[in-house]
Every structure is written in structure tokens, then in C-alpha cells.
Amino acid sequence: MGPQKTSYADLLIIGAGPAGLVAAYWASEYGLDARVIDDKPDRVTKGHADGITCRTMEMFDSFGIAGQVYEEAALDYQIRYWRLNAVGRLDRAQSINSQAAGICRFQQCLLSQGRIEELLEDRISRGKGRLRVERDVETLRLTLHQRDDPDASAETHPVQVNVRHGRSGGGCMGDGDDDDHVEETIRARYVIGADGAHSWTRRQLGLTMRGEQANHVWGVVDLVAVTDFPDIRQTCVVCSEHGNLHVVPRERGMVRLYVQLDDDGVNPSAAAELRSEATLETILATAGKALRPFLLECARLDWWSVYQVGQRIADRFSAGECVFLVGDAIHTHSPKVGQGMNVSMQDSYNLGWKLGGVLKGQLQSHVLETYETERRPVAESLIAVDQETVAFYAARGENVATRDLQCFRERHYAFLSGVAIQYEGSALVYAPSAIELATGIQLGRRMPSYRVINYADARPTELASKLASDRRWAVILFAGDLRQATQLKRLEEACAALLRSRLLRTRGSSKLVTITASPRDSLPLTGLPPLLYCRDGENDGHGQENRNYEVVFSDEPDVYGAFTDVYAKYGVDREKGCLVVCRPDQHVGFIGALEDVPGLDVFFTGIFRDS
């Protein structure tokens, strides 16, 4: 046994897959004393997940990596449904939009998990915390110390994780350490278990998965094909008498095939047998038969695997209020709906900023309870949609002609896009909110983005660009029509109230964004309350460097006449305006009138710690 060492960290993230890395993104943004460990010596480069929903693209955009993802990904505009026609020949029955119109400025797309991890890691290493993943770190024991343990660190660092560093060396252990297998005791305030379907963390905590056992077996293969199938560059669902096949286009001319190997579900032991017997040849032969009369041969294999998947959810998402599980560690399902990586990353996107806020002393620790209350319903919906989807596709041959993929997809569009996820009322979603003031904004959902006009220079700007994941809460003032003296006065009074409010006492935690309903020429920027455009919140006499020209907008046509009418889109009264607050994860937490700064203060009082 090598030398021992005890280290302390505020946050330990176990697992550097997509879910772990999104947690690491937040840790980096908050500048946490955090570590990310993974038991594998190298990053995954081939295979695994690949579907990216438009909500995930919004999240990537808020991290600043959407452009790169978009450039490399295969974009998914249309799903094609192939089935046997009246004379028993495989035929294109329906072309269905992959995504509902107008729900998002991004399009869902496909890119390999390994590349996504690489882009995330690169972004994190360039972030505030310059966090790096430590690989080849084997986890040995997780101990949850009671807060009143005699152990000196139990109060502050209740989680103990013993690990062993592999040959490739732990970054934290210093250079030139000759011993191959250094052991280390990591004491952490919080731990995130992002270690997948077979989660070591979950097993250490003794949590169990509930739901159907693993009764579906899928072959998955990434390859370069020789084929005359005309829709090889589109997402396809192929239902033939020889079985079901999903065709998924991928980057660099590859195609992914999902091939169902079980016949409409089998019992777990039969599934295990099916899995152990499955070979690449079985998968390709099944796929080839399903696609007849089209040719399908493998010109170059990239990766293949067999999945045996149950539809299950963990009984609890956390333990001891200090260990949290995310991603596949708490929900498993079939790959049919292309959601796994997305829901997993969104788990961490939800949890990470809450942990960051608590560790930075900004937020009260009870906000961590909302992690499970917000994410469990999403996991349950995921399982439900997955079950329906598996059932929909399972029936073979004769009766699929009666099925309408369009109708089926339309029922699930909203969930599958990710943009309709809505969190219930809680400390973080202010239930008494006056939601009738913004009928186009759903309390608890992510804030939709539209183009507004920069007040200072007329540049059309996506509102989302103001909601980057920079850990700040966004207070969006729909200022209304400032040509009316009474409305300008209301705005001034709202700003005066904001200056006295908790919002500004926790400065650095929030950002103000203003959208006027009146045109920019009707009142100069300097006619607005200085709070809205001055960096110091007060004085416009300090010159342009004290001004922020990027936070005040108007809702008016651009110089070429194109008018978004965002007040109508958000359902906000152009005369009266309102206040909308977005959490760091872009979900709407509060809606109120301009007079309702006291209500906003009540909301923040329930969340923020006194500073």
C-alpha cells in the first residue's frame, strides 16, 4: 500500500461524464474548492449517448459552447417513419418534424458523448475555477459521518471518500511521485455521485432502484455504411416484420443504428442471456433484415455495444443532505427517446448552482431540498414517456400501419424538447406570483428568448444572451411605455425600492435587464433611472465606463422593420410592464408587478442568507 494523505474539498464530483462535467461547470463558475474524479484512465472517445435536445443546446449556449457543438453535430430536423406498405414492401410512411415549430432558436442535434465531454472539459478548464478532471482514480469507500461524530471534521466535512490513484497519477498528488497506487482520503462538505447506471456512490449509500428490471436488450452500432437507403442522413424509425431499427445520423459521415434484440420485452434472466449472446454480427444481421430491400453493409466499424436496460428510478436522490446523485445513477431507461444524456446534464444543471450558492454562503441550505422535488417528476416523466415509446415501437409487422407516429410524437414533443420542463412552487418558484402579468411566461419553466433591440445602438439581441450561466440571478424589468409620465414614475419608484432591497445587498448575485415598451428614441438612456444602466447603480457623471450599454433594450422594430413584439410574446401589458426573476438556471422563479419589490424581497428572504 502506498503513502496515505488526507485532503479537504468543498465539493467532490465522482464521475466525469456529461452529468459530472455540468456539475463541474458550476463548481468552476462559483470558484468552488472542488475536485472531479473518474475511475477511467481516459475520456470516452467512441459510442455512448449522442442525442442533444434544444433545451440542452440552450444550456450549452449559456456556457458559450453552443456554436462549436452546432458546427460539429449532425442536425436533426426530421424523423422519417418507415413501415411495410400494403404490398409488404418497406416504404416511407411519414415525415415528421423532429421538433415543434417556434419553441426554441436551436435545433436538436447529434454529437458523440465523448466530444461533448471534451468541449465541456475544455470550457471548464478555461473557466473561473480552471478545474481539471483527475482520471484513473478508483473509489474505495464512502463514509457518511454523523455531524456529531467525535471526528474533528464531521461537522464541516461529513463525507469521507477513500480513493486510490492509478498509474496515470492523480493531479493533486504532485509531480514526481514514484508510487503507482497512492491512496488518499478525501473529506468533502458535499459529494455529487455522477457515476452512471451502476453508480458506486449509490451502492455505497445503500440506495436502491425501483421499477422494471432490465427486460429490454438493445444492440447499438456506430459505423460507416455502404447503403442505398435514402434516409441514411436522417433520424428514422423503421418498423419491419424483421424487427425494429432506429437510424441516427452522426458526425463525420457515420450512422448510428439502434437494433432491438428482445421481442417485445423478456424477463430479466432471458434478457441477460440475450445480452451475453449478442454479437456484432447478430446486430448487423438483424439491422440488415429490417432494412430490406435496401442494402446495408458495414464499411468501417467505429463502436458497438449491447444494452440491457430497465426503466427504473432511485428511491432517493440524496443521502445525509450532503451526497447527491445525478444522471443515470438515479434513472435508467431505453435509448429510444434520446433523452438520457440530456436529463442527466439537466439534473446537474439544476443541482450545481444551488450547491454553489450554499457553499459560497449566499443561499440557505434548505434550497438543496428542491433538487429532488424538482428533478424527481422529470425522471418520472422520462420513464413514462420511455415506456409508452417502447410499447409504441414494439409491435411488429401487421399492426404498425395503424399507428400514427406524428400523433404520438406530438403528445411528447414538449417533454422531449426539454423546454417545457416546469418546476412546481417551492422556495425557488414563488407560488403567490402574479402570473397573469406575464401570460406568455410559465412560472417554473425556463425563460423563453426573443429578440429585443439594444437601447443604445439598435442592435437586435437575443434576450438569452443576457441569461448566461454566470451564477447570477436575472431580474428582468419590463419597464412598459415610458412616454407616459406615470409609468416612468412607477419605474423610478421600483428602482428606488430595488436599491433598498435585499437584491442589491447581495450584489454580484444578480443582474438587471430592462426592456421598455416605448421606442428608444422617445427617451434617452440617460432619462432612465441610473440603476438600470450605471455599473455603480447610481451616478451617470462618471463617463461611459460606468455605463453598461448591454442591459437596456426596447421592444420595437429593428432598423429594417422586423418587429418581434416581445411584450405580446411574453404576454406583458405594454403600458404597465412587470418584474420577472430568472434563477441562475434560467428558470422563472418570480413574476410580479413593478410595485411588488416587497414581494420580491420576501422571495429572496426565503432563499438568500443575510450578508
Residues that bind its own copies (CB under 8 A): 67, 74-75, 77-78, 92, 95, 97-98, 101-102, 224-228, 230, 232-234, 249, 253-255, 297, 299-300, 456-459, 521, 524-526, 540-545, 547, 549, 558-561
- Are the C-beta atoms of residues 36 and 13 closer than 8 Å to each other? yes
Residue closer to its own copies (CB basis): 427 or 458: 458
β-bridge partners, 191: 12, 323
CB of 229 to its own copies, least distance (A): 9
CB of 98 to its own copies, least distance (A): 8
Long-range pairs for 363-370: beta carbons < 8 A, 24 or more residues apart: 363/607, 363/608, 363/609, 364/427, 364/606, 364/607, 364/608, 364/609, 365/321, 366/427, 367/427, 367/428, 367/607, 368/318, 368/321, 368/324, 370/423, 370/426, 370/427, 370/428
What cell was used for 472?
447570477
For β-strands 109-110 and 133-134, DSSP reports them as unpaired
**Is the peptide bond between 524 and the residue preceding it cis, with omega within 30 degrees of 0?**
no
Residue closer to its own copies (CB basis): 170 or 249: 249
Residue closer to its own copies (CB basis): 366 or 542: 542
- Under DSSP, the state recorded for 531 is G
398 by Cβ neighbours in 10 Å (0-12 / 13-18 / 19+) ranks as exposed
CB of 535 to its own copies, least distance (A): 10
CB of 455 to its own copies, least distance (A): 9
The residues near 509 (Cβ < 8 Å, ≥ 6 apart) are 357, 362, 471, 472, 473, 608
CB of 1 to its own copies, least distance (A): 48
Residue closer to its own copies (CB basis): 229 or 590: 229
CB of 73 to its own copies, least distance (A): 10
Residue closer to its own copies (CB basis): 174 or 230: 230
CB of 232 to its own copies, least distance (A): 7
Residue closer to its own copies (CB basis): 74 or 116: 74
Helices and strands, number each (H, E), in the chain = 14, 28
Phi/psi zone of residue 64: left (φ > 0), alpha (ψ -120 to 50 degrees), beta?
Answer: left
What cell was used for 302?
467505429
DSSP symbols for 219-285: EEEEEEEEE--TTTTSEEEEEETTEEEEEEE-STT-EEEEEE-SSS---HHHHHHHHHH--HHHHHH
Q: Which residue has the cell 444602466?
A: 533
CB of 288 to its own copies, least distance (A): 14
Report how far residue 489's alpha carbon sits from residue 456's, in angstroms, rounded to the nearest whole number. 21
Q: Which residue has the cell 456529531?
A: 148
Residue closer to its own copies (CB basis): 456 or 602: 456
CB of 77 to its own copies, least distance (A): 4
Residue closer to its own copies (CB basis): 227 or 514: 227
Residue closer to its own copies (CB basis): 43 or 92: 92
CB of 55 to its own copies, least distance (A): 18
Which phi and psi (to 5°) does residue 471 adopt? 75, 0
Residue closer to its own copies (CB basis): 201 or 234: 234
